[in-house]
Structure 1
Amino acid sequence: MHQVYQIKQEIQSLSTYIHAYEKMQETMDNVYYEIDDIKSTILNDVTALDFDSERFEMLQQREFDLIKIQQKYQKTIPELIDYLDTLKMDQAMFDNYEGLIQTLDQDIQKKKDIVLNDAHKLTQKRKEVASMIEKALIERLLALDLSHVSFQIDVIKTDTMLESGMDDVIFNISLNEGEPLKPLHKVASGGERSRFMFALKSLQALYQGVSMLVLDEIDTGISGKTASKVASQMALLSNNLQVIVITHVPQVAAKANTHLKVYKETIDQRIQTFVEILDEDARIKEIAAMLSDETMSTFAIEQAKMLLNQKKDKH
């Protein structure tokens, strides 16, 4: 500004001697005063600015921190904002964890009450059905050559909740007259358990309305008269549904309408299983083999024919 003023003064001196500079002097005066006005305006504006060095440093530090956060989490600014919102929601949930736990406890208690109520209903239903099963099973067991059988189902409520309820269901049985009832698994022999399982399965099949029942060696441990009685009950059951029996007992096999022989052979060093439908002669031979430990004696063949004829005579 000082240099402009000097130039203005020199032009003014020259205009005293050279009239052509008078016009230039006028222009220079105008330029000088305009520049002076601009200077004043700028100074006023600068003076009006409120520069806060502490705030500037704070903003600069925040910028540095933001850059570090971006590098740490490998996220853009918008992604960081979304992540911050997620953290705030998690924080809010954590801050309210006592209320959340209380709500969850209340929900658990409601569900527990429902489950306990259902378990109680199930216990009552089991007790009602138990008496029906007891009567029906005793009838079937008596027909299976267990003439002195007594049977009782105990439904004992426990404190433990399982998927099946809160009950221990115990089958108690007495197989001889005058003996106290005891758990089935402690007193029954193999043959007695076989008959019990057959009675239970046949009863279950009838109540559930199934169309087929498969009995896999359920006659284990029985023979003679007992086997004949079991076979008769199987034949009786077959009037209501299809009964498939896997057996090694000749008295049971002889009661069937159709016989299938299942056997294995080694072919090309591999064991293969085959099923063969037996005709009349083959049936006699197979039952005779059961009767005589696979020795095909004349007596065994006659016994096999007799067993098969007993079945025919009842039709």
Structure 2
Amino acid sequence: MLTSLYIKNYALIDELSVQFNNGLTIITGETGAGKSILLGGLSLVLGKRADISQVKNKDEKCIIEAIFDIANYNLKSLFKSLDLDYDVQTIIRREILPSGKSRAFINDTPVNLESLAALSNYLIDIHSQHQTQQVTQDDYQFQVIDALAENKSNLNDFAKELVEYKAIQKSLEELKLSKAELIKEYDYNLFLSKELNEIDIENINLEDLEAQYEELNNVEEIGEKLSSAKAILSAEDIGITDQLNSVKLELIKIADYGNAYDALKERILSVGIELDDILIELDNLEENLSSDPQELERINSKLQVINNLFQKHSVLDIEELVVIKNDLRLKIDNTESLDNTILLNEKHVLKQQEKLNKIALEIHENRKKVIPVFVSKLESILSDLGMPNAKFKIELNQIDYFVSNGKDDLQFLFTANKGSSFNALKKSASGGELSRIMLAVKSILAEYVQLPSIMFDEIDTGVSGEISNKMGDIMKKMSGKMQVFTITHLPQIAAKGNSHFKVFKTDVEDVTHTQLRKLNEEERIVEIAQMLGGIDITDSAMAHAKQLLN
């Protein structure tokens, strides 16, 4: 509940400090006295955007501070999620600086307006004439029915499962799109992979292959050169081998005459051995040398294929082709296995749909059970509020797709007169009727859930007499379970309050100021008497005021 409100340098308010109690609090005042200023200041502390034009003295900062007792609101988890220090006496403060910038604090911790609004939803509901239209909106109508149906746990479960369902659906859609793209490339990738597989790319040694090609392509020249080299080495009398033997014999003769000569002899002997080996190798090469046009053609074709693949894939070596081959295989495998993945995801989607359908059905059945009870209570209250012929028909129909709160379509249909057909509430109820409907709805809700403090801003507009008395009774009853404020012009309602505040203006040195004062018993009698008969108070008005208060 709101326990105190402090306002400084806001609109026509210099400085104002007021404490509030539980129960029904009445706020009265003449038109234009500044009740809207009070609401504006309270709205700022609840998260409304600030405006420098609202500051009275532009050279000083504006401060609005509210203290709430939240011991019974179960808000510890909310404070934790907002990373705020929890205190049963929670202080919210807004400041508007002369620069036009504004700041917000919860328990002295700076917060943004989103966090402030998130908390304020649980603290106080300012119900203006504009907000009466809320009762015609689908979201609010669902909130009312679900509160009575105690669907909170089911709705939380549904929301959690719906998030997972949407994530799976999105994944499935992405897989199907991927499949469509991959199928376009599949045949081409398969063709490229087949090309690389046909030449067994991993087992090719390009250097060896090129050497084999050069040998086969030049076999005749190689044979001639080998034969010529053999002749040069082994020809009689003039061959290198014979000449070397002659040198070797001469050096053997002088080898004993010194180390230098012996070393030359050894070197010649080594050269002789090497030349003998070379002759043997030349014989072997010449003997094994053969012409093979078919093998030459095969190797030539293979080299052409490899070079073509180099050009096609813009690479320079076999290793890069192997990488490309592996990538192609992976793409092909992914395409071929995608159907299985899609099938698994489709099964997952169906399983999630079953979960959601089960929870949605429970939500639907709970709603279905409470609607007749709600309609009965609503019509009974409206009858007391001067709408004896008001009838409601609430249609709850299951739909074949998921929405954020289940699988239902909900319509509030209304008629205010006998013999008239039902129509959508937003089209068939007048402003005054909507005000009474909203009051009736709030009073019913107060029986089922812990509502935050509520402030009714002239919800009694357009009613009088016995109806206003009934409205006061309803608000009085609500105040037994929650803190209720009402701004009113009706004495019948004002007399119902546990406490009574008056908003008024004073002129000091040609400057108008708005003030708020709690009335004592005598002041309250006078205020209600003025509400009954005007500024000139009569004895009968005073007697009537006392009677209402008693």
TM-score in terms of structure 1 length:
0.68
Equivalent in 456, 481, 492 of residue 251 of structure 1? 492
User: Does the 8 A contact of 1:190 with 1:220 survive in 2?
Assistant: no
Report the residue type matching 2:269 in the other structure. Answer: N
Residue 246 (structure 2) aligns with: 9
What is the correspondence of 1:1-315 to structure 2 with a 5 Å cutoff? Answer: 3=240, 5-10=242-247, 12=249, 14=250, 19-20=253-254, 27=266, 30-39=269-278, 58=306, 65-66=314-315, 89=330, 91-177=332-418, 179-210=420-451, 212-261=453-502, 276-280=516-520, 283=524, 296-299=535-538, 303=541, 305=542, 308-313=545-550
- Kindly indicate which of the two structures has a greater share of residues assigned to helix: 1
Find the aligned partners of 1:45 and 1:108 in 2 and give their Cα distance. 75
* Kept in 1: contact 2:446–2:481 (CA 8 A): no
CA distance in 2, matches of 1:91, 1:289: 89
Distance change (3 Å), C-alpha of 1:34 and 1:130? same
Q: What is the RMSD of the two structures over their aligned residues, measured on CA atoms?
A: 4.7
Quote the Cα distance in structure 1 between the aligned partners of 2:329 and 2:536. 91
Kindly state the Cα deviation for residue 117 of structure 1 after the two structures are TM-superposed: 3.2
Q: Aligned residue pairs: how many?
A: 290
Work out the percentage of aligned pairs sharing the same amino acid: 25
User: Post-superposition shift, 1:180?
Assistant: 4.9
For the residues of structure 1 that align with 2:437 and 2:454, how far apart are their CA atoms? 16
Deviations 1:216-254 (A, max 9, x none): 433233223321221122112222322122334443233
Contact 1:143–1:233 (Cα < 8 Å) also in 2: no
Q: Structure 1 291/308 Cα, relative in aligned 2: closer, same or farther at 3 Å?
A: closer
Alignment partners' CA distance in 2, 1:110 and 1:230: 50
The Cα of 1:4 is off from its aligned counterpart by: 6.5
Using the alignment, how far apart are the partners of 1:55 and 1:40 within structure 2? 34
CA–CA separation in structure 2 for the residues paired with 1:43 and 1:242 = 115
Query: 2:367 aligns to what SS in structure 1?
Result: helix
Question: Counterparts of 1:28 and 1:235 in 2: how far apart (Å)?
Answer: 128
Contact 1:250 1:290 in 2 (8 A): yes
**Number of the residue aligned with 2:32:** none
Change (3 A) 1:86 1:277: farther
- C-alpha spacing 1:5/1:21, structure 2 compared with 1 (3 Å): farther
- Answer 1 or 2: higher relative contact order, Cα 8 Å, separation at least 6: 2
Q: Which secondary structure state, in structure 2, belongs to the residue aligned with residue 259 of structure 1?
A: strand
Cα-to-partner distance string for 1:52-107 (whole Å, 9 max, x where unaligned):
78878849x86995469xxxxxxxx9xx96x9978865553333333333333332
- The SS at the match of 1:141 is helix
> For the residues of structure 1 that align with 2:438 and 2:482, how far apart are their CA atoms?
18
Query: Separation in 1 of the partners of 2:339 and 2:485?
Result: 61
Question: Contact 2:492–2:548 (CA<8 Å) still a contact in 1?
Answer: no
Counterpart Cα distance in 2 of 1:28 and 1:127:
115
Native 8 Å contact 1:171 1:184 kept in 2: yes
Structure 2 residue matching 1:220: 3-state secondary structure: coil
Q: Is the 8 A contact 1:148 1:177 kept in 2?
A: yes
Change (3 A) 1:291 1:133: same
Question: 2:469–2:492: 8 Å Cα contact kept in structure 1?
Answer: yes
User: In the aligned structure 2, how far is the partner of 1:37 from the partner of 1:176?
Assistant: 130
Stretch moving more, 233-242 or 276-285: 276-285
Inter-CA distance 111–211: structure 2 relative to 1 (3 Å threshold): same
Instruction: Name the stretch that deviates more: 175-184 or 100-109.
Output: 175-184
The answer to whether the 8 Å contact 2:468/2:493 transfers is yes
The one-letter amino acid paired with 1:229 is: K
Q: Is the 8 A contact 1:154 1:171 kept in 2?
A: yes
Report what 2:200 is aligned to: none
Contact 2:391 2:414 in 1 (8 A): yes
Distance 1:85 1:155, change over 3 A: same
1:191 deviates by: 1.9
Residues 144 and 233, structure 1, Cα contact 8 Å, conserved in 2: no
Q: Which amino acid aligns with 1:35?
A: E
Q: Is the 8 A contact 1:5 1:32 kept in 2?
A: no
Say whether the 8 Å CA contact 2:382–2:437 is kept in structure 1.
Answer: yes
| Structure 1: 5+ residue stretches without partners | 69-76, 266-270
1:130–1:282 distance in 2 versus 1, CA, 3 Å = same
Pair 1:44–1:287, CA change in 2 (3 A)? farther
Unaligned runs of 5+ in 2: 1-232, 234-238, 290-295, 507-511
Residue 161 to residue 307, structure 1, CA distance change in 2 (3 Å): farther
